[in-house]
Amino acid sequence: MVTEKESSNFLKNLLFLKVFQTFRMAIQPSKLIIAFLAMAVIYVTGWIMDLIFMAVSDSSNGVFSVLWVSASARFHGALEALFTFNLLGVINNFSSYLATVGATFKEHYIYCFIFFVIKLAVISLAGGAICRIAALHSAQGEKPGFTEALRFSTKKFTSFFAAPLAPIGIIIFIGFFIFLLGLVGNIPWIGKPIMVIFMPLALFAGGLIAIILIGTIAGFNLMFPAVAYDNSDCFDAISRSFSYIFAKPWRMGFYTFITLVYGAICYTFIRFFTFLLLLATYCFLQSGILGDNSKLAEIWQEVPTFTQLIAQPNWAELNGLESFAAFLVYILLIAVVVLVTAFVVSFYFSANTIIYSLMRKAVDNTALEEVYTVSETSSTEPVEEKSQEQQSSEPEEEPDLPSSAD
């Protein structure tokens, strides 16, 4: 007969169950505040850049607006496909979004480059802080404060920022030599023979690019947690993520799939909660306004739905005061939607931090409770200094002098 203790030990050995702690970790106020501020900065940056771009190019649609709408549509399309266990549909939605990003980058490469750098910088600070909070919470049950987490991500900003970029730089560096070999092929007479001779090296270089590309795509989720858990630099974070991916790819795939399904359920719950919040607010406001309810319709025109939480007001039909009131209401509604997006960001980094600890346990046999803490380094240095001071303060023994009797 299975005892209660044996059942408890069995559940502890099922490490993937730790993934189901992500929701509770993701809704922590400190993480949501950090994620909300990051998404607000990204949204405001994109909005300002759209205003500048549309003023310069006389375009009716901003680049950020197009990418935001496309990302939202593809995200919800992937969720629907995931709920029906249509993995091909998930991949198609993801590929469609990448195609939109690629086409947008070709047309507006300067805009996209500037926005990408700003977004990566913001995500490095916010994502690093969230991963740090999740690492300490998961490993030791600690919940560091808002400023402490941001202080850590600021200190390790270079590692967070460079970790996703370093593999791209290595790919470009290796690909440059293949490009040079292609240029040599243009030389008359001897170009083609030289290219054929060095073709094996080009194929070897292409294989390295394929390995790095697969490792980067599959292991990107583990780079930030590696820095947060082990205080790694960017190259150590890349090395760890690559080794975990290639050492146990099926285990990584299993953890990722469980997280995707669980995350989709959690997001649906959060979105439904937000829908009820907005709908209840709208209905009670509408019932409190007497008459034809035209005043509410002027500043909040669309009734919230589960698929469309907010809608942009028709500014052309509003006068000056109505436009100002509608603008304030629209900003508040956007803040609610950004908060939902902040939950997704917090869940993403929290879940991947847990997955990193599980993969580290499976590959390196490192205890789940082991995490880098500042006290580990700060506590040893003063001890060493004190011991040196004690050694210098101890009086030296005087040599024995011969006695008078001798």
At 158-178, the pLDDT tens digits run 999 999 999 999 999 999 999
User: Is 8 among the domain residues?
Assistant: no
Q: Which helix (H) or strand (E) holds 155?
A: helix 146-155
CA distance 59 to 65: 12
User: Is 41 among the domain residues?
Assistant: yes
Q: Which of 83, 40, 72 is nearest to 269 (CA)?
A: 83
User: Is 386 among the domain residues?
Assistant: no
Give how many domains the chain has, as a whole number.
Answer: 1
CA distance 336 to 114: 27
Summarised one tens digit per residue, pLDDT across range 342-383 is 999 999 999 999 999 999 999 999 888 888 887 644 444 443
Q: Which of 225, 233, 234 is nearest to 259 (CA)?
A: 225
- pTM of the model as a whole: 0.82
User: Is 372 among the domain residues?
Assistant: no
User: Is 221 among the domain residues?
Assistant: yes
Please state the rounded mean pLDDT for residues 297-307: 80
Please state the rounded mean pLDDT for residues 67-76: 83
Neighbours of 71 (CB within 10 A): 14
Percent of the chain exceeding pLDDT 90 equals 40
Q: Give the CA radius of gyration of the chain.
A: 28
Neighbours of 91 (CB within 10 A): 12
Q: Which positions ≥6 away from 356 have C-beta within 8 Å? A: 222, 225, 226, 229, 244
87 lies in which domain range? Answer: 16-365
User: Is 396 among the domain residues?
Assistant: no
User: Is 401 among the domain residues?
Assistant: no
pLDDT (0 to 100) of residue 85? 76
User: Is 348 among the domain residues?
Assistant: yes
Residue 360 structure tokens: 């580290």
pLDDT band at 299 (very low <50, low <70, confident <90, very high): confident
Tell me what the pLDDT averaged over the chain comes to.
82
